[in-house]
Structure 1
Amino acid sequence: MSHITWEEPFCGEGNNCFRLGTDPDGNAYIAVNGQESHYLTDTAEALRTLIREIKAGKADHLL
């Protein structure tokens, strides 16, 4: 397994914090802050697509 480089935590209202990370192999990771050993992973392009779709409002129905 490659080394994951984590970004600083992103925290929304109520201190719901998560972190994004990448590795040298081009994989992307999402984890709850403080629980980085339990992450979701996919390609960096999949993470970009997810973020774009969320910003476009396609996940608003989940809120």
Structure 2
Amino acid sequence: MSGAALIRLLVDVVAKNGNLLINVGPAADGSIPELQRRAMRELGTWLEVNGDAIYGTRPWIRMGERTGAP
């Protein structure tokens, strides 16, 4: 999964009051494959900038309801 796809998934899961489990499979020596590491770094970078949009928020009451000004 790309970093952008991981970010979209996180936002969707959080909006629906869920928890995202990222299934990362380290090698026998404990290293994480580059593809997975890159996606998680992109997610971390995004959270550094946009974390306020995730941490301490509340889920939708009804999925699909409008947000913001009418």
TM-score, normalised relative to structure 2: 0.30
Q: Could you say which structure has the larger radius of gyration?
A: 2
Structure with greater contact order relative to length (CA < 8 Å, sep ≥ 6): 2
Higher share of residues assigned helix: 2
